[in-house]
Chains A and B, each alone.
Chain A
């Protein structure tokens, strides 16, 4: 059962967006997020809606999966909307005690909500259409310039992909240790928060020891297979841009021009 968990929320279908180079998608998400923060006019938002709609259609992922991602921010959304509604000074709509709702507040609240929702949906599309591996690959390649100033880009991305590989193994191990401790009378369920946290100690200690042991083993296995960092390493699946990536970048350019011209002209 635990072996079946999928990390991230990758939705496996074959679509234009799925086949896009991860770097293109990462860059697009970045452009989109920045554009949302620049935008302060209805037409700029219209462009953002268009961008998002295009991405949704091209991803061939059912919309309900993207909406699911919004659940996590409902609370945040409510707080930010209510703060903006009641605490923005301006022309009052009505007043309860010291709280007053203003027209300006409504405007800002709506923009804020739209901004947040679009932001989450945009990044959800990225994770829905890109496997964790592709993401780390894409990050490694796009952040390659930072290698020149000595940032350990390859190392970090290798760590990320190893972490991804070991998460299911460690979850399974946690489960095993938990059962073993329960068989010895450990109680993970009852008590208040502090007692529960204390009950975790006999679970965490063996887990950590085993994780370190695995790490030593893995390091040795990697060395035995000639791993010596990113230097002189070739790629089995190198990333290379294709026609669709160039087209997408062109689309980004149009989008940026549209958003910026709205900002400047209107």
Chain B
């Protein structure tokens, strides 16, 4: 069993009217089962309203499932007793960088998590130093978060989660509000943490480019898992992805169109270099 295991998850948002009657039920998740291996980098794709953000919030007990169970390293998230251990194990980074930074100084914000879990003062400093180093923000430690760029703020938020020494990080569209530079910065940081610190990463996003380097891609639509596999495999099913209103990376799209037009190319080309090599080989053949 992996570090994160979701079994038949169902989650409904229920709206009540004035008399506390159920007014409107919105099925966000309709039976999601997923098992995530320790140390892996898993991306969850889906357009708006596919249930991916709800899924993220279920991972550390911010929301509790209407039915089904989430296990985080064998602890149930709806177990009151383990709630704080679950949150310690699965850290979470949100979309809006401004709304998740609590401290008035970068280093104080990174120390916020360890303070909450009762870490002794010296160890807090040690963890803050290490976490800032890991995301490459040491130079900004005494700055006010208001003076940082979006990408830098998101890296501080990641450092804040890292300082709690989690085994996995759930990132709920961490790049949605960033410019392309900030986006690259954040994605690079996440990959480094995954490789160097062996942190399990669950990246929720709708940017295709960010999931190319993932170990596994899960596509969600209307509360169901509809596709699950390695990026290469997923992106070779271009027409299926379009059906879920998702785009494919531009290179993959080009390769797909060329193939449709009759050129002999393999499925699921993910990088410009790969396509260039293939095309060069073709030219050689001609």
User: Which residues from chain A contact B128 at a C-beta distance below 8 Å?
Assistant: 236
Quick check: is A234 within 8 A (CB to CB) of the other chain? Answer: yes
In the complex, the answer to whether A225 meets B160 with C-beta atoms within 8 Å is yes
- Closest chain B residue to A165, Cβ basis: B104
Report the bound CA distance from A234 to B116 in whole Å.
7
B125 at the interface (CB under 8 A from A): yes
Q: Which residue of A lies closest to B161 (CB)?
A: A225
Which residues from A are CB-within-8-Å of B101? 165
Q: How far is the CA of A226 from the CA of B107 in the complex (A)?
A: 18
Which has the most chain B C-beta neighbours within 10 Å: A161, A162, A164, A226?
A226
**Cβ of B115 and Cβ of A233 under 8 Å apart?**
yes
A235 in contact with B104 (CB, 8 Å): no
Give the distance to chain B from A129, nearest Cβ to Cβ, in Å. 17
Q: Does A148 contact B (CB under 8 A)?
A: no
| A257 located at the interface, meaning its Cβ lies under 8 Å from any Cβ of chain B in the complex | no
Q: Are A235 and B115 in contact (CB under 8 A)?
A: yes
CB <8 Å contact, B99 and A165:
no
Q: Are B121 and A238 in contact (CB under 8 A)?
A: yes
A30 within 8 Å of B (CB atoms): no
Bound CA–CA A3/B144 (angstroms): 10
Set of chain A residues within 8 Å of B115, measured between Cβ atoms: 233-236
Q: Which residues of B contact A234 (CB under 8 A)?
A: 114-115, 118-121, 124
Which stretch, B1-9, B88-96, B215-223, B251-259, touches the partner chain A? B88-96
Q: B118 contacts A217, CB within 8 Å?
A: no
Pair B102/A220 contact, Cβ less than 8 Å: no
Q: Which residue of B lies closest to A6 (CB)?
A: B144
Contact residues in B for A225 (Cβ distance below 8 Å): 87, 91, 102, 112-113, 116, 160-161, 164
Q: Is A232's CB under 8 angstroms from B118's CB?
A: yes
Contact of A152 with B by CB under 8 A: no
Complex contact A222–B118 (CB within 8 A): no
| B12 beta carbon closer than 8 Å to chain A | no
Q: Which of A200-245 contact B (CB under 8 A)?
A: 214, 217-218, 220-228, 232-238
**Does B210 lie at the interface of the complex (its beta carbon under 8 Å from any beta carbon of A)?**
no
Chain B 152-185 interface 0/1 with A at a Cβ cutoff of 8 Å (1 = within): 0000000011001000000000000000000000
Nearest-neighbour CB distance to chain A for B95, whole angstroms, equals: 8
Q: Which residues of B contact A3 (CB under 8 A)?
A: 146-147
Chain B residue at minimal CB-CB distance from A237: B108
What's the nearest-Cβ distance from chain A to residue B221, in Å? 25
**A69 sits at the interface (CB 8 A):** no
Q: Identify B104's interface contact among A161, A214, A217, CB under 8 A.
A: A161
> Is B94 within 8 A of A236, CB to CB?
no
Complex: A4 Cα to B143 Cα, angstroms: 12
Docked-complex contact A133 and B104, CB < 8 angstroms = yes
Contact partner of A236 (CB less than 8 A), chosen from B98, B102, B121, B145, is B121
B interface footprint on A145-165 (CB within 8 Å = 1, 0 otherwise): 000000000000000011011
Residue from A133, A224, A228 within 8 A of B105 (CB atoms): A133
Q: Contact: B88 with A226, CB < 8 Å?
A: yes
B14: chain A residues within 8 A (beta carbon): none
Contact B121 A224 (CB under 8 A): no
Given A232-B118, A234-B121, A237-B108, does the pair A226, B102 have CB atoms closer than 8 Å? no
A31 at the interface (CB under 8 A from B): no
Q: Verify B108–A169 contact, CB threshold 8 A.
A: no
Is A226's CB under 8 angstroms from B100's CB? no
Interfacial chain A residues near B164, Cβ < 8 Å: 225-226
B220 to chain A, nearest CB (A): 21
Does residue B62 face the partner (Cβ distance < 8 Å to A)?
yes
B231-244 interface mask toward A, CB cutoff 8 Å, 1 = contact, 0 = none?
A: 00000000000000
Query: What B residues does A226 contact at CB under 8 A?
Result: 84, 87-88, 113, 116-117, 164
Interface residues of A (CB under 8 A from B): 3-4, 132-133, 161-162, 164-165, 168-169, 214, 217-218, 220-228, 232-238
**Pairs across A and B, CB under 8 Å, 23 listed:** A4-B147, A133-B105, A165-B102, A217-B99, A217-B100, A218-B100, A220-B94, A221-B99, A222-B112, A223-B62, A224-B92, A225-B91, A226-B117, A226-B164, A227-B116, A234-B115, A234-B121, A234-B124, A235-B121, A236-B111, A236-B115, A236-B121, A236-B128
Residues of B within 8 A of A (CB): 57, 60, 62, 84, 87-88, 91-92, 94, 96, 98-105, 107-108, 111-121, 124-125, 128, 145-147, 160-161, 164
Can you add 9 more A-B contacts, CB < 8 Å, to A218-B99, A225-B116? Answer: A217-B99, A223-B62, A224-B91, A225-B91, A234-B119, A236-B108, A236-B115, A236-B124, A236-B125
